[in-house]
Amino acid sequence: MPGPDKETDLTERIEAFLSDLKRGGSGTGPLRGSAETARETTALLRRITAQARWSSAGDLMEIIRKEGRRMTAAQRVLKIIREEYARSRGSSEEADQQESLHKLLTSGGLSEENFRQHFAALKANVIEAINELLTELEGTTDNIAMQALEHIHSNEVIMTIGRSRTVEAFLKDAARKRKFHVIVAECAPFCQGHEMATSLSKAGIETTVIADAAIFAVMSRVNKVIIGTQTVLANGGLRAVNGTHTLALAAKHHSTPLIVCAPMFKLSPQFPNEEDTFHKFVSPHEVLPFTEGEILSKVNVHCPVFDYVPPELITLFISNIGGHAPSYIYRLMSELYHPEDHEL
Amino acid sequence: MADSGVTGEFGSSEGKDLTKEEKQRLRKEKKQQKKNKEKKDDKASQESEKEKKSATSAAPASQPPTQLPAQKAVPAPAPVPVPASEAPAPADKPAKSKAELKAERRARQEAERASKQGKKGEVGQQASTGQIQSQHQLPEHIQVDNPDVLKKLAKKLERQQIPLRSDYGYKVSLFSHLHQYSRKAPLTQQLSIPSTVIHPAIVQLGLQYSQGIVAGSNARSVALLHAFKQVIRDYTTPPNEELSRDLVNKLKPYISFLNQCRPLSASMGNAIKYIKKEISNIPSQCKEEEAKSKLLNCIDCYINEKIVLAAKAIAKYSIEKISDGDVILVYGCSSLVNHILCEAFEKSRKFRVIVVDSRPRLEGREALRRLVQRGISCTYVLISAVSYILPEVSKVFLGAHALLANGYVMSRVGTSQIALVAKAFNVPVLVCCETYKFCDRVQTDSFVSNELDDPDDLIVTRKGKTQLEDWHQVDSLGLLNLVYDVTPPDFVDLVITDLGMIPCTSVPVVLRVKNVDQ
């Protein structure tokens, strides 16, 4: 029977993907590009939609919720499903999305039973919408890069940290028309800044590599700081590569604008809670190698990968739909995600 | 000149005495005007000069405000306000133009004066501000982009028979005024053996400096003083020479050599000043053996007082600031801070230490080793993780390379960053520094005077790949390896010195007191 085979095949694929994600930090190279991850997640979810057995939208949402507990892209897909369902039911989208207090009180909560209705065309619609999402994902970097000339003028000194594909595309696009100077802080211990610098200098941009320790020393000559990030949190704060908080503080001290280039799929509805719970660590071997054997046993070594940057230090977000202030992020959140899906 | 003629009559009828004084003044005016004439290019101004001269010769006091030349600060004591009220009416237009011209002249002269001073400043070595203070000589090592200065330096080194070290690699444009050397090409390779000019102890010291074997402010100063002791022991006064003058001259090429190996630190500068002063204070009738033993004694005293005892005093003050249960953050390897922590541990204070380190020097590992050997419990992180670990910290102890006269702390690069983040988290920052490291210089940013280390140090090989291997080939790529940075005084809460605990802004007071003592 092809059915159950397909199902087992699917679960295997899901398992493989999840373990890959977990290992993503040290296995396939540090900090796998988030764009790739998002794309693969979405593709996987599309496969689930196509192959898993489900009869109504409610079932589908259950399945996706179960599989996608660790994947934020699943939330986008859930939102898409709701939209499609609402559309096929004939009610207007806006009415559904407005979570006004009045509606909450009168309708007594959008009841889950409504989703039990079965629509044949729902599957096709959902898959189509997911495809749209995929194309959007692929085009984000170009969209952001197109806005580069609005933000960079000639003879500027721009500072960045670590390696971000979005920022790389952004700067290369601006370099086609303007001449400016870039300072890259290598980001110990992974030193991704080196790769960024080589790639930028090959594109003809004047680049300088500095050590992390020199960030504050050099900041007085910098005109703008442009960084990428791993995630944008619901309050407008960032979860970015370690060292970014120091960079943001130094920029604030010198009143230098801090610009974050982040495509929309990096938005996460989570708020920062206690710092301990959202950090990811890697092996301390990166920091203190095993050659220092005799002291290694008596010493605690920490190697956090991410930093939290509060929204007060950020000047502007540039995303594929334009530029926003950090205080606007919560609004974008409600457009992209349904509030009931915030707890996955 | 109808109007001037009219007023002329008026003036001469006033009084002969006045006119005599006026004439003297006019003579002075004429002299000044002649000077003005030399500096001027305009025909128009010359014309007005002629006008003025004829006017002044004709009418002494009539239009005092317009007659007097710009330079005269003291206005005409004379007075005649009455004719002045009359005069402007018919002479309105010419008066205005004269005032305009005067203003022009004034502006031009000031511009010329400024450009002259500017030219003087460029030459550098001779820039003397004359009345204000003693000659202000810009040190050579921050004028690398000036070819005249480089030529002078080359000549000086040739005279002293010391090889000139050449710069290495592409220098970032912001730092083109500083030297950048490679560690793989030490100066000693260019020396002939045996070298007659430079004492072998100094050659050894220079090599140790340039390869980083002796590093750290205190260590370098102590090594320098020991090497000088050796030099003094081996010294013999040549005939017909005085020890006090000759020894100082002997030391000059050594100092240039050491400077070429690695730029002198502020503490070394102060030590050298002290030694030179001691040597020149030796009375001429003193016998050679006696003089030498006296000098050796002086040096020993200096080391003992300024370094060893100072460390003990600072440790005593600091221990008061360390309480049980503290979590102390230190950066890099400062001999003084390590000493303090070890002493505090001996006095049975319960605390734990977080050592922050940074690439490319990774000095924190040395500090870690020393502390762990004593049994202090330590944590180790890199500087990019400092904002993660700071919420746990209760105090930050930092060492200093030098304290500048405007209250800024010059220290290893990264110190200012740690102070900044500590301030953001409201953690107190304490800087420990001996008084012999206080220096007269002022500096506000880390660019004007710094040291550029070997840029190849930034290259790292991870997982078999070295990204920056061929950075020389790529034109637009530069590597920057700074050694020092300056921390503004508002980030520092307290400075602990052997004279006590002072705020950062009291540094010039201490300097003044020290100078008065000496």
Give me the CATH topology for the region B181-308. Answer: Four Helix Bundle (Hemerythrin (Met), subunit A) (1.20.120)
Contact A10/A52 with Cβ under 8 angstroms?
A: yes
User: DSSP letter string over A52-121?
Assistant: S--SSHHHHHHHHHHHGGG-THHHHHHHHHHHHHHHHHT--HHHHH---HHHHHHH-S--GGGGG---TT
Residues 11-50 of B with CB under 8 A from A: none
Contacts A–B by Cβ distance under 8 A: 157
Q: How much of chain A exceeds pLDDT 70, in percent?
A: 54
- Predicted pLDDT of residue A1: 46
**One domain, residues A206 and A337:** yes
Residue A164 three-state SS:
coil
Would you mind telling me the total number of residues written for chain B in this entry?
Answer: 518
The listed range with the strongest mean pLDDT (A72-76, B185-189, B368-372) is B368-372
Q: Which of A249, A295, A307 sits opposite B368 (nearest CB)?
A: A295
- Predicted pLDDT of residue B15: 47
Closest residue of chain A to B461, computed from CA coordinates: A191
- Predicted pLDDT of residue B207: 86
Q: What is the mean pLDDT of residues A184-194?
A: 86
Q: Which of A187, A216, A301 sits opposite B417 (nearest CB)?
A: A216
| CA–CA gap between residue A219 and residue A254 (Å, rounded) | 7
B480-B483-B484 Cα angle (round to 5): 120
**Has residue B26 got a pLDDT over 90?**
no
- Predicted pLDDT of residue B217: 87
pLDDT category of residue A230 using cuts at 50, 70 and 90: confident
Query: Regarding predicted confidence, which is higher, B430 or A132?
Result: B430
Q: What is the mean pLDDT of residues A121-128?
A: 68
B413 touches chain A (CB under 8 A): yes
Shortest Cα distance, chain B CAs vs residue A205, angstroms: 6
Residue indicated by tokens 């002293």: B160
User: DSSP letter string over B382-436?
Assistant: EGGGHHHHGGG-SEEEEE-SEE-TTS-EEEETTHHHHHHHHHHTT--EEEE--GG
Backbone angle region of B93, left / alpha / beta, with phi > 0 → left and psi within -120 to 50 → alpha: alpha
- Predicted pLDDT of residue B151: 82
Closest residue of chain A to B446, computed from CA coordinates: A217
| CA–CA gap between residue B129 and residue B121 (Å, rounded) | 9
Name residue A68's amino acid.
G
CATH no. of B322-446+482-515:
3.40.50.10470
Contact B317/B500 with Cβ under 8 angstroms?
A: yes
| CA–CA gap between residue B212 and residue B191 (Å, rounded) | 19
- Predicted pLDDT of residue B319: 92
Query: Regarding predicted confidence, which is higher, B44 or B172?
Result: B172
Q: What is the mean pLDDT of residues B176-199?
A: 69
End residue of a domain, out of A75, A108, A138: A138
Q: Closest by alpha carbon to B486, among B434, B428, B453, B439?
A: B439
**One domain, residues A130 and A181:** no
pLDDT category of residue B326 using cuts at 50, 70 and 90: very high
pLDDT category of residue B474 using cuts at 50, 70 and 90: confident
**One domain, residues A126 and A174:** no
- Predicted pLDDT of residue B496: 94
Task: Report chain B residues whose CB lies below 8 A from the CB of A187.
Answer: 384
Name residue A161's amino acid.
I
Which of A91-105, B17-31, B155-169, B252-266 has the weakest average pLDDT? Answer: A91-105
**One domain, residues A291 and A237:** yes
**Has residue B424 got a pLDDT over 70?**
yes
Q: What is the mean pLDDT of residues A221-235?
A: 90
**One domain, residues A172 and A258:** yes
End residue of a domain, out of A138, A167, A194: A138
Q: Tokens in use for B410?
A: 């010059």
Q: Which of A182, A209, A254 to mutate to test the interface with B (most CBs of B within 10 A)?
A: A209
Q: What is the mean pLDDT of residues A202-207?
A: 90
- Predicted pLDDT of residue A271: 76
Put the strands of the sheet holding A306-309 in their side by side order.
Answer: A231-232, A238-241, A306-309
Task: Report chain B residues whose CB lies below 8 A from the CB of A305.
Answer: none
Q: Which of B379, B420, B485 sits opposite A253 (nearest CB)?
A: B420
State the total domains in chain A: 2
Q: Which of A195, A205, A249 sits opposite B476 (nearest CB)?
A: A205
Residues spanned by the domain of A74: 4-92+121-138
- Predicted pLDDT of residue B471: 80
Number of helices and strands in chain A (H, E): 14, 11
Closest residue of chain A to B373, computed from CA coordinates: A295
Task: Report chain A residues whose CB lies below 8 A from the CB of B391.
Answer: 275
Residue A104 lies in a domain: no
- Predicted pLDDT of residue B313: 93
**One domain, residues A162 and A263:** yes
Q: Closest by alpha carbon to A301, among A312, A292, A314?
A: A292
Does the pTM surpass 0.80? The reply is: no
Residues 297-326 of A with CB under 8 A from B: 298-304, 307
- Predicted pLDDT of residue B133: 43
**Has residue B6 got a pLDDT over 50?**
no
Q: Tokens in use for B388?
A: 């993660």
**One domain, residues A86 and A227:** no
Task: Say yes or no: ipTM exceeds 0.85.
Answer: no
- Predicted pLDDT of residue A94: 35
Residue A287 lies in a domain: yes
**Has residue A112 got a pLDDT over 70?**
no
The listed range with the strongest mean pLDDT (A317-321, B43-47, B115-119) is A317-321
Residues 166-225 of A with CB under 8 A from B: 186-191, 194-195, 197-198, 201-202, 204-218, 220-221
Residues 457-516 of B with CB under 8 A from A: 458, 460, 462, 467-468, 471, 474-482, 485-486
- Predicted pLDDT of residue A307: 84
CA dihedral (A116, A120, A126, A127) positive or negative = positive
**One domain, residues A46 and A167:** no
- Predicted pLDDT of residue B75: 41
Q: Tokens in use for A303?
A: 């190697």
The mean predicted confidence, pLDDT, of chain B is: 77
**Has residue A252 got a pLDDT over 70?**
yes
| CA–CA gap between residue B292 and residue B429 (Å, rounded) | 44
**Has residue B338 got a pLDDT over 50?**
yes
Longest dimension (CA), chain A: 71
**Pairing label, strands B395-399, B326-331:** parallel
**Has residue B466 got a pLDDT over 70?**
yes
CATH 1.20.120.420 positions along chain B are 181-308
> What CATH number has the domain bearing residue A278?
3.40.50.10470
Q: Which of A195, A214, A245 sits opposite B467 (nearest CB)?
A: A195
**pLDDT single digits (tens) A4-17:** 555 566 666 666 66
Q: Which of A216, A302, A303 sits opposite B420 (nearest CB)?
A: A216
For chain A, first and last CA: distance in Å?
Answer: 33
End residue of a domain, out of A107, A138, A169: A138
Residue A100 lies in a domain: no
List strand residue ranges (DSSP E) for A91-249, in order: 157-161, 181-185, 206-210, 224-228, 231-232, 238-241
Residue A63 lies in a domain: yes
CA distances from A266 to A233, A311, B328 (A): 9, 16, 37
